[in-house]
Amino acid sequence: MLTSKQRAKLKSLASTQPSVFQIGKGELSDNLVASLGDALEARELIKISVLRTCDYAVEDLMRVLEIKLRAEAVCSIGKKIILYRYSHKKDIKHIEL
């Protein structure tokens, strides 16, 4: 569980990053979830854009992804979702909380 200070730090770090994925019309496929998991493992912090054609509400989608990816939902801002998960890779720069 993230504290409010940790969420604020992650939110500020994500503000400078571009969106890594776009989620639009259709269901959440296993391939999409696997790709998001790989991105989290490589980056620890990802930003996702939710398109207007998406069948899910942003908050609902954020909670579903949080469960499926075993990640922490940092926040949702408009149509953007920010997710964090500590990576166990040793060759990346880890985010210090």
Which residue ranges form the domains of the chain, and what is each CATH number?
4-84 (3.30.110.60)
Give the phi and the psi of residue 57 in degrees, each rounded to 5: -75, 150
**pTM, two decimal places:** 0.93
- Tell me: the pLDDT tens digits for 16-51? 999 999 999 888 899 999 999 999 999 999 999 999
Tokens of 72: 């922490």
Angle between helices 58-69 and 30-43 in degrees, nearest 10: 70
Tokens of 62: 């954020």
pLDDT at 70: 96
| pLDDT higher than threshold 90 for residue 1 | no
